[in-house]
Amino acid sequence: MVAKQEILLESGTNEVEIAEVILCGQSFGVNVAKIREFIPFEGLTVSRLPGRHPSVQGVFILRGKSIPLIRLEEHLNLHCGERSKQPVVVITEFNHMTTAFVADHIDRIHRVSWTEFKPLSTVLAGDSPYVVGTITLGEQEVLILDLEHIIGEIFPSSVINYDESAVKKETLAPTRQQAHLIFAEDSAIIRYQVSNILKEVGYTDLVMFDNGASALEEVERRVDQARDEGKDIHELLTLVLTDIEMPKMDGLTLCRRIKKDLRLNVPVVMFSSLINEQMARKCESVGADAFTAKPETTRLIELLDQFCLQGGAPAS
């Protein structure tokens, strides 16, 4: 087994660990928080699945669990020659799913700041939905993969879900309309999906941003407005909803700035594919009031209701 290199990062420092993965001779970046481990490809027994997605090579068993092996190079439409002599299986874990793909090798793990991340332009993002942006690692620009989007295309059940029957709309919508929400999420697709769901159930006062820095500027603007108009901040801002992975400023740093720098008693809810036991502790360390994993939108609405309508912390 190839151990994943661990770089311990403090919460809310706006730093991220990026693994530089070589695939078909090209460098790609993957957030280390989404990688569970690396194992050698040599000797791995992969079983084919009937009716599988074309990008799924098959499944293999690791410590008693079946893990789908993705043909990532095929899904990205890369033109590969022969595999490297010592390919590595990258096992990822996010959105409550464990999947894997084969890489030529892992170059190394870099510690960088989210401020160094460069999102793709709107035009390029439309043509390249599998890449969320670039970052300079060493002397080259490395493409950062949007694994959530890729896995969502292969396994649609992993994307945002919504149980309409479990959410009270008619009775609670008028009260929900009085809440003032800020939503930070860098994925345009997820922003669109989540905002549509929230507005459908009544959370219509929803201002969205594609990075934590812009969301923080809006929070600070409302703090200034409340001071100038002699209002309580809760009259202008009820709750901040944020992803964790974002360019310029991540969600953990955004939460820390709101809670510990601005000292605001405004609920902050983390909504991320990275939520696990370790990330939960990081969320708590920066003062987050609650957190839930994508794609559990029904649970997200329950949390918003408990903070915005009931004015208290959610039940554990």
In a shared domain, residues 85 and 171:
no
Q: Is residue 4 one of the residues assigned to a domain?
A: no
In a shared domain, residues 86 and 209:
no
Question: Domain boundary residue among 100, 133, 157?
Answer: 157
In a shared domain, residues 170 and 231:
yes
In a shared domain, residues 108 and 193:
no
* Residue 104 in this model has a pLDDT that exceeds 80: yes
Q: Is residue 268 one of the residues assigned to a domain?
A: yes
Q: Is residue 5 one of the residues assigned to a domain?
A: no
In a shared domain, residues 198 and 281:
yes
Question: Domain boundary residue among 157, 176, 198?
Answer: 157
The stretch 4-16 carries a mean pLDDT of: 64
* Residue 199 in this model has a pLDDT that exceeds 80: yes
**What's 3's DSSP letter?**
P
Q: Number of structural domains, the chain?
A: 2
What would the pLDDT profile of 12-23 be if each residue is shown by its tens digit? 789 999 999 999
What would the pLDDT profile of 38-76 be if each residue is shown by its tens digit? 999 998 999 998 888 999 999 999 999 999 999 999 999
CA distance 181 to 238: 6
In a shared domain, residues 147 and 253:
no
Cβ count within 10 A of residue 1: 8
Closest C-alpha to 283, from 303, 298, 297, 301: 303
In a shared domain, residues 171 and 288:
yes
Cβ count within 10 A of residue 66: 12
Which residue stretches of the chain are H helix? 72-75, 122-127, 147-154, 173-176, 188-200, 212-229, 251-256, 277-285, 297-308
pLDDT value for 311 = 66
pLDDT value for 3 = 45
CA distance 16 to 31: 7
In a shared domain, residues 170 and 129:
no
CA distance 313 to 316: 9
Domain that holds residue 36: 15-157
In a shared domain, residues 56 and 185:
no
